[in-house]
A and B are shown apart, each in its own frame.
Chain A
Amino acid sequence: MTVIEEVSVPSPRDGDGGPLLEVRDLHVEFHTREGVVKAVNGVNYSVDAGETLAVLGESGSGKSVTAQAVMGILDMPPAKIPQGEILFRGQDMLKMSGEERRKIRGRRIAMIFQDALSSLNPVLSVGYQLGEMFRVHQGMSKKDAKAKAIELMDRVKIPAAAARVNDYPHQFSGGMRQRIMIAMALALEPDLIIADEPTTALDVTVQAQVMELLADLQREYNMGLILITHDLGVVADVADKIAVMYAGRIVERAPVHELYKRPAHPYTRGLLDSIPRLDQKGQELYAIKGLPPNLLRVPSGCAFNPRCPKAQDICRTDIPDLFPVTEPDGSELVGRASACHFWKETIHG
């Protein structure tokens, strides 16, 4: 009997077998007149080729700032990265020169922003803005770049692309504009796409279409995807794993379906409980009490403690590590971690 061994052929995209992107102990602070805002405090996460990581959190949780640090588009000053590494294919991008990083931006790592209307240049045609990628990064002629732009618009399913290539952003609908943003990010077939709330500005039916398109293209190109969102509904269908952020830290990490089934952090549980559900019609909707912390004065201990229903004395003094989460019998739960002193109680009972 011949056993056909499944040989994992490394795709030409991944280099040394390590993760595509790895963020290690990243800290970002903003130096403002009122004081130092610690926006990101030791974040770790990684994404592989073809994998989707969803980063979930409220505004001010540091999810966008982390992404901007990865992208290298933070305004420094006022932002500062005092500590941490951002490894792209094993190389620390924070140690690279500005020019080296610029060549990665757009070409290897691309970003999709939230509000396509303000994120596209209002006075340049979409064809110009798409073609610019090819002209700048590949030295293509204006004419070829325009042909490529039409091809891209086709690819993201914009009807009558050839006729609309010279139109301006304000002449497109919201969904079409976001498709153009996606096309722009996709232009040079990057290894990693960071989508910062790509569907927040769209209405619900269009949201689903845009998410689906993004997921399809990601599969087709085997790209890594970091999906930043505050919407648990968006995440469920597309993400492989989730990192939940609160006050600049990752508070829980889990494969997507496990997180929904068994949250291991009170904050995640609160988020899940505050989703309206059809089977609880007529009941009052749960809300996490209190407000996200002011990052100038983060509470001591666990930053979530003033809002946490389970908070004890230790929560007010000790910052919890990101503990690995296990089954009650001690067996490992792959890819799960929780930054709660009482994760056991939270997940198991």
Chain B
Amino acid sequence: MGRYVARRLLQMIPVFIGTTLLIFLMVYALPGDPVRGLFGDKAGSPQVIAALRHQYGLDQPILVQYWHYMRDMILHADFGTQIASGRPVTDVLGDAFPVTLRLASLAFVIEVVVGIGLGIMAGMRAGRLTDNVVLLISLLLISVPVFVLGFILKVVFAFQLNWLPPNVNDSTNYNELLMPAIVLAAASLAYVTRLTRTSVAENLRADYIRTAIAKGLPKRRVVGVHLMRNSLIPVITYLGTDIGALMGGAVVTEGLFNIQGIGLTIYQSIVRREGTTLVGLVTILVLIYLVANLLVDLLYAVLDPRIRYA
């Protein structure tokens, strides 16, 4: 087990270098540059631009830039400076991260509770009306794009019914975060529902469920202990990888509801061609992804004793 974790942690190093380098190169390949962006429509004097480019190290070859960036990040925990605001990227991250974390957590809770709940309901009644209705709803949630769903919810719940505020002004207010969290959770929720449903329906026919019934166990124990322990294994795998997707996939949702989180910051950084900010944000997301995946794999062994890591 210890060796397995160590090996997985070591594997993170090449993934980490690969993703950061890739982002760096991709931003470099985009036309335009952040210093010119500072001047807007006006053309700045070539001397000033050159000076600024030198100050941010943008005049050096891309691999040298990358090397300096990684060196500062690893040795000094310095993620560079956001060119547009002149603030350290760590500050920008510090502002945006908790907002996204709150949004993603709320979405995750909705996804788990509603998704698994609906999945169990449908799976226990596979092939019957409840099952078909749930499958239809999940199909709808998967096929409707996020911005359409967000817009519909806004129109209905914010403007017509006046139940929820249309935008997020205070990101610590969970009431305001509820609607964006639902929008963010929608597609994943549908996948969780379908995955749970299939797993439950399949395990319900398993021999050990018949044994559990033959033992005279009450139904809630047959379902709650014997069925669930087996059915939720694939669902938990999906949920683990989805944590990362919820954190990073909020670009559209955060834009739609004006949430100053990581998604919006990423979008703005792309528009301004700010490689340093972008790499910092993506690095964090990559790390979250990797750690979440590792935790899921470890949890897997706890849930299913047939899996042993060596």
Question: Is the CB–CB distance between B216 and A168 below 8 Å?
Answer: no
A103 to B213, CA, bound (A): 11
Question: Is the CB–CB distance between B214 and A110 below 8 Å?
Answer: yes
**Residues of B within 8 Å of A, CB-based: how many?**
22
Question: Is the CB–CB distance between B216 and A118 below 8 Å?
Answer: no
CB distance from A22 to the nearest CB of B (A): 20
Select which of A105, A120, A136 is within 8 A of B221 by beta carbon. A136
Known A121-B211, A121-B226; judge A136-B216 contact (CB<8 A): yes
Q: Mark A249-264, 1 if CB is under 8 A from B, else 0.
A: 0000000000000000
A87 located at the interface, meaning its Cβ lies under 8 Å from any Cβ of chain B in the complex: no
Known A122-B230, A123-B305, A136-B221; judge A105-B208 contact (CB<8 A): no
Q: Mark A301-329, 1 if CB is under 8 A from B, else 0.
A: 00000000000000000000000000000
Question: Is the CB–CB distance between A118 and B217 below 8 Å?
Answer: no
Q: Mark B157-201, 1 if CB is under 8 A from A, else 0.
A: 000000000000000000000000000000000000000000000
Most buried by A among B206, B217, B221: B217
A170 to B306, CA, bound (A): 7
CB distance from B236 to the nearest CB of A (A): 12
Question: Is the CB–CB distance between B306 and A118 below 8 Å?
Answer: no
B215 located at the interface, meaning its Cβ lies under 8 Å from any Cβ of chain A in the complex: yes
Residues of B within 8 A of A170 (CB): 305-306
Q: Which of A120-157 contact B (CB under 8 A)?
A: 120-125, 132-133, 136-137
Select which of B208, B214, B303, B305 is within 8 A of A118 by beta carbon. B208
A73 located at the interface, meaning its Cβ lies under 8 Å from any Cβ of chain B in the complex: yes
A113 to B208, CA, bound (A): 10
Question: Is the CB–CB distance between A120 and B208 below 8 Å?
Answer: yes
Ranked 5 nearest A-B pairs via Cβ: A106-B216, A105-B216, A118-B207, A106-B215, A121-B208
| Pairs across A and B, CB under 8 Å, 22 listed | A71-B214, A73-B214, A102-B217, A105-B215, A106-B214, A106-B216, A111-B211, A115-B207, A118-B208, A120-B208, A120-B211, A121-B211, A122-B304, A122-B305, A123-B233, A123-B304, A123-B305, A124-B229, A133-B215, A181-B211, A184-B211, A184-B215
Q: Mark B209-226, 1 if CB is under 8 A from A, else 0.
A: 011111111100100011
A211 located at the interface, meaning its Cβ lies under 8 Å from any Cβ of chain B in the complex: no
